């Protein structure tokens, strides 16, 4: 007799409201978890892109300047002209700005 009541209740949809609310709650939790995972993935891509940009800046901007300074020092043995001094100061400025940007990114990520 007790089994018949359960069967009739299941067929009539007595517990359907409870099951629907559980399913909706589960769906919300899964969607929130998916959003968090996508956000973390986007953050990793952004960090990777910034690291690549910093490497390219060093390679294409700072590298030739260092090469030119070394070549000038070896070839002419002095840096008395205006152009060499401007290049050295710009090299130091770019290096300092790059270092500050990397430090700021590291501190922001750390906190």
- Helices 63-76 & 82-110 angle (0-180, nearest 10): 150
Mean confidence (pLDDT) of the chain = 77
Write out pLDDT tens, residues 59-79.
Answer: 787 778 778 777 777 777 666
pLDDT(26) > 60: yes
Calpha distance 23→3 (Å, rounded): 25
Q: How confident is the model at residue 23 (pLDDT cuts 50, 70, 90)?
A: confident
Write out pLDDT tens, residues 35-59.
Answer: 888 888 888 888 778 777 877 877 7
77 phi, psi to nearest 5 deg: 65, 20
Q: What is the pTM of this model?
A: 0.43
Domain extents in the chain: 2-110
Calpha distance 95→61 (Å, rounded): 10
Calpha distance 46→9 (Å, rounded): 54
Calpha distance 74→86 (Å, rounded): 18
Q: Which two tokens stand for residue 26?
A: 């589960």
Question: Where does residue 94 rank: exposed (0-12), middle (13-18), buried (19+ CB within 10 A)?
Answer: middle
Mean pLDDT score, 20-41:
85
**CA-CA distances (angstroms) from residue 61 to 34, 70, 103?**
40, 15, 19
Calpha distance 101→109 (Å, rounded): 12
pLDDT(11) > 80: no
């Amino acid at each position: 007799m007790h089994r018949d009541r359960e069967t009739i209740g299941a067929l009539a949809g007595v517990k359907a409201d409870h099951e629907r609310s559980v399913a909706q709650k589960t769906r919300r939790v899964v969607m929130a978890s998916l959003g968090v995972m996508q956000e973390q993935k986007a953050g990793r891509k952004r960090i990777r892109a910034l690291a690549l940009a910093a490497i390219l800046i060093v390679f294409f901007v700072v590298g030739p300047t260092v090469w030119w300074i070394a070549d000038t020092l070896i070839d002419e043995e002095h840096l008395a002209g205006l152009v060499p001094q401007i290049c050295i100061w710009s090299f130091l400025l770019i290096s300092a700005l790059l270092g500050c940007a990397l430090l700021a990114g590291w501190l922001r990520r750390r906190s």
